[in-house]
Amino acid sequence: MAQKKEVTGPKLPEKWQMIAWSKQDERFSRIPTEWILKSSPAPETTSYVDIPRKCGILSDLELKITEEYDATALAEAIRKRELKCVDVARAFCKRAAIAQQLTNCLTEILFTDALARAEQLDAHLASGKPPLGPLHGVPVSLKDTFQIKGYDASIGIAALCFKPATENSVLVDILLDAGAVLYCKTQIPQTLMALDSHNNVFGRTINPLNTRVTAGGSSGGEGALLAMRGSVLGVGTDVGGSIRIPSMCNGTYGIKPSWQRIPFAGQVDGNLPSISRLGIPASAGPMANSMRDIEFFFSAVAAHKPWTRDPDVVPTPWNALMCVGKRRKLRIGVVRRDGVMEPHPPILRLMDEVAAKMRTAGIEVVDMDITPLFSQCQSLANALFGVDGGNAMFDLLELTDEPLSPWLATRLRRKKALPLDKVRELQEKRNVLQKKFLKIWNDAHGNEIDAFICPVAPHPVPPIDRYNGVSYTSSFVLLDYPAGTVPVRRFTEDDTKGEIEGKVKGNWDKANRELWTKVDRNVYIGTQLAVQVVAPKLEERKLCEAMSAIDEAVRDEGKAPSARL
């Protein structure tokens, strides 16, 4: 008897896929029809930054608002009644909509609510009342991890979609009390543990400066939106480099504070509550297109006494932090290597360039070799990142049979949570290392070092899904040092020259060297080169001062247009 042939039909979509399609449809439906681009960029187009100016969607006033003001200037113009809140909000909503269509940088769209709030803020001023706060009428974008009542904080996980928040994160309430207009939330990688912002729900964020390289992660949507001038002031989070890396990739400024500076309460990160207290706490911090906006953010948040709303925040008013420059010359160190991954030739040359420009600007420069300590940080940080074995995140993924994204699939797996005694041992190693690091803040003569510069990464902005090691950024989360990114200039053809010297230090260094020896170096041309600036724990005011001084010292014609205000 002949066997009965099995009949098979087309494969049905997975549960997570159905959720993702519905979520993308919801997002698209929130963009007004008249803001939809009439055509897509030509396939050979590798830079999207000029498209908003040429697409015909933005009026002359809206182009001026989004391109000629930073957040500080917008706040002043609104306060003086030179600009209306609703005109400012509409300009940035429209530009964010354009940025989304080009780079896929948004998750939640709040345009309708934002315009209604802007009208209320205009009516408030028209009635003769003073501004609500320093951010009155200033549009602020937020990483998707922040909860805004009535909107999802899905963090790109299908199981968390269509579950709108019932309350705001603490920082969201503070920003609203300060007068901000919240109008969108931005893209992140799946699990928040990748360095290129891709997830199964929303897809991949594209770098608008150079579409062939990564936009970074995990605050990659914020970085891309700022680079497109679709945001004037954004808020990201950072536990391994997630503010500083996208800032480097997209040519913006950003600071990871010490974790006790800015309220983090009410975040959605896919982990069990308070698990970070057993490992390494993340920080929330500003991303912007000018250094004065970074400081403006800290000042505005501190003015609303966040320590009265989040018990983790230290009670330190921003104005109480004294400027070094009023007492003496800034003294800034130069750290070139971490001892784990050898920097590529253009990165080492960049460090020398910035050191020379700092000296010319009157900054005292001190060469520092801290590799014996620096080299111990990455392995310890990696161990503390995984104290829970990733089980809570894997539980969420399995609810809808959602797979890991390709980059994570070869790097992440479910493990057993570490036993208490092992966690205690790791935290003791961290404590010992933090104590040893205290000695680096004085030079050989006992003089205080205010901050130091080092690479954000040992390589230029890499191709998509090729960013691999974070030892230059995760180390300062381990140490709880505030650290920020300052854009310097663009990568040029001359920067493709030179070879990496010395023996390979290990697997991390091998992968890093392949980004120089096994990549067409021309892909880096036009990408952003940046330095990282690091200050002692809870010295964000000193960090801002050092970053501002360095920014002034390195500013020249080669700097990204988005960074010249």
Question: Residues 171-224: pLDDT tens digits?
Answer: 999 999 999 999 999 999 999 999 999 999 999 999 999 999 999 999 999 999
pLDDT tier at 565 (50, 70, 90 boundaries)? very low
User: Catalytic: which of 23, 84, 94, 143?
Assistant: 143
Q: What is the pLDDT of residues 67-112, one digit of tens each?
A: 999 999 999 999 999 999 999 999 999 999 999 999 999 999 999 9
pLDDT at residue 322 in the model: 61
Q: Band the pLDDT of 10: cuts 50, 70, 90.
A: confident
Where exactly are the structural domains of the chain?
46-563
Give the DSSP letter string of 320-341.
Answer: GS--GGGTS--EEEEE---SSS
Numbered residues of the known binding site: 192, 218, 239-242
Q: What share of the chain is helix, strand, coil (3-state, %, to 5)?
A: 40, 15, 45
Flag whether pLDDT at 8 surpasses 90: no
Q: Is 474 a catalytic residue?
A: no
pLDDT of 448 higher than 90? yes
Residue 76: the pLDDT is 98
pTM of the predicted model as reported, rounded to 2 decimal places: 0.96
Residues 372, 335 contacting (CB under 8 angstroms): no
Percent of the chain with pLDDT over 90: 93
- Annotated binding-site residue numbers for substrate: 192, 218, 239-242
What is the CATH number that goes with domain 46-563?
3.90.1300.10
Structural contact between residues 169 and 267, judged by C-beta atoms closer than 8 angstroms: yes
Q: Which two tokens stand for residue 226?
A: 């700022």
Q: Is residue 507 pLDDT above 50, yes or no?
A: yes
Active-site residue flag, 38: no
Q: pLDDT tens digits for 247-297?
A: 999 999 999 999 999 999 999 999 998 998 999 999 999 999 999 999 999
SS3 assignment, position 447: coil
Query: Under 8 Å CB-to-CB from 287, ≥6 apart: which residues?
Result: 219, 222, 223, 226, 233, 234, 235, 236, 243, 246, 247, 252, 253, 254
Answer yes or no: are the C-beta atoms of 200 and 262 closer than 8 Å.
no
Determine which one of 218, 231, 276, 471 is catalytic: 218
pLDDT in tens, 316-372: 999 765 667 667 899 999 999 999 999 999 999 999 999 999 999 999 999 999 999
Distances in Å between the alpha carbon of 270 and those of 193, 426, 509? 11, 23, 31
Q: What are phi and psi of 142, to 5 degrees?
A: -135, 140
Residue 34 is classified by DSSP as: G
pLDDT higher than 80, residue 444: yes
pLDDT for position 319: 78
218 is catalytic: yes
